[in-house]
Structure 1
Amino acid sequence: MTAASSAKVLSTELNKLTKEPVEGFSISLKSEHNLYEWKVAIFGPPKTLYEGGYFKAEMTFPKDYPYSPPTFRFRTEMWHPNIYENGDVCISILHPPVDDPQSGELPSERWNPTQNVRTVLLSVISLLNEPNTFSPANVDASVMYRKFKESGGSEDEYKTIIVEQVKKSQKDAERDGVKIPTTLDEYCIKWAPERDTVEEIESENFWYDDDDDDDDMDSEDFEDD
């Protein structure tokens, strides 16, 4: 797949997510000239440890997307069994579909070209609520989470850390001028971009020229300024 082909796929996904956003998420491009790097804001779901949180992340897409998976990295500090110290998310759907018996993952659980940004976002929010402690990226967080679950919440060190991180994220939201949903009804609002952004995305020549041959597309067209 050429850069032009992957750009077409990404522009289509961005357009669709703009019109039909995922509940609890807000997305935008890091730069209007680069389709391969997206900003993501995640609002903590009500009735979970992450309730009231505002967590910033980034998705980076390879030039052969959707044949290879994107990466998903939190920019907000996250204490979680499946999130590395640098913020990278360790989840099956983001792993290439290779046969790796030592990982404990089936090829069918890994990335394939039928996956998309929407399925990644939903998988990430599911992972926050239901960590996988069998192959942790953060062993200490995994041990702490197990104690928390197995004790019925009496061993609450894990919860305490998450609550503190939620409070810190709320200060980020205040600095960014973002209103965090506090009720289920607010959380279920589709967090769509402003109208001007929608109109830009829908512009026919915004990302690519249909008359151009894929091979004529230079990947530098999508680099940051």
Structure 2
Amino acid sequence: MEKEGVRGRPDITLDPPPNCSAGPKGDNIYEWRSTILGPPGSVYEGGVFFLDITFTPEYPFKPPKVTFRTRIYHCNINSQGVICLDILKDNWSPALTISKVLLSICSLLTDCNPGKVNNSLPCFIFPHLKNTFLHKLIF
């Protein structure tokens, strides 16, 4: 990792994705906290979600570890907050920035990807959840 900090920091502070923020937890440049507001028009609209972003010394050549701290019911996010997203695994590229990662996570919140299941039950329920009694109970 670069001495002056995590690459992508100017990107997130100068041009953050809509409804997202991220930055270091205290003085540790390897540990970040992110906030994502539930995307408008999604079943998560009105929700506030906190995520942890952990960088390794190999960043940007290895992806950061991004996990939801806030419990969320989603087919691509398991009960420990682990996100099943290809760019956080095999399709990582050093050209990706934290803004692009957060934008991809927001997109995942808008459209569940049943082809990449990390939590199977929500995949069956998710498409029918919006504006239902169950939606009001969960969110």
Give the TM-score of the pair, scaled to structure 2.
0.88
Change (3 A) 1:163 1:41: farther
Structure 2: gaps of 5 or more residues: none
Q: CA deviation at 1:132?
A: 1.0
Larger CA deviation: 85-94 vs 15-24: 15-24
**Greater relative contact order (Cα 8 A, min sep 6): structure 1 or 2?**
1
Q: 1:16 aligns with which of 11, 36, 39?
A: 11
Q: Which has the higher strand share?
A: 2
Paired residue type of 2:117: P
Secondary structure of 1:85's counterpart equals: coil
Q: CA deviation at 1:70?
A: 0.7
- 5 Å-filtered alignment, 1:119-138, equals 119-138=100-119
1:48 matched to 2:29? The reply is no
1:118 matched to 2:99? The reply is yes
**Number of equivalences:** 139
Deviations 1:180-212 (A, max 9, x none): xxxxxxxxxxxxxxxxxxxxxxxxxxxxxxxxx
Paired residue type of 2:86: S
Structure 1 moving runs of 4+ over 6 Å: none
Q: 1:26 aligns with which of 6, 21, 26?
A: 21
Q: CA deviation at 1:162?
A: 4.5
- 5 Å-filtered alignment, 1:117-196, equals 117-145=98-126, 149=127, 153=128, 156=129, 160-166=133-139
Q: CA deviation at 1:9?
A: 5.6
| Distance (whole Å) between structure 2 residues aligned to residue 60 and residue 22 of structure 1 | 19
Change (3 A) 1:112 1:9: farther
Match of 2:83 in 1: 89
Paired residue type of 1:60: T
Q: CA deviation at 1:135?
A: 2.6
| Distance (whole Å) between structure 2 residues aligned to residue 39 and residue 52 of structure 1 | 19
CA RMSD of aligned residues (A): 2.1
Give the TM-score of the pair, scaled to structure 1.
0.56
Structure 1: gaps of 5 or more residues: 97-109, 167-225
Change (3 A) 1:162 1:93: farther
**In percent, how many aligned pairs have the same letter?**
32
Contact 1:50 1:162 in 2 (8 A): no
Secondary structure of 1:72's counterpart equals: strand
Contact 1:40 1:56 in 2 (8 A): yes
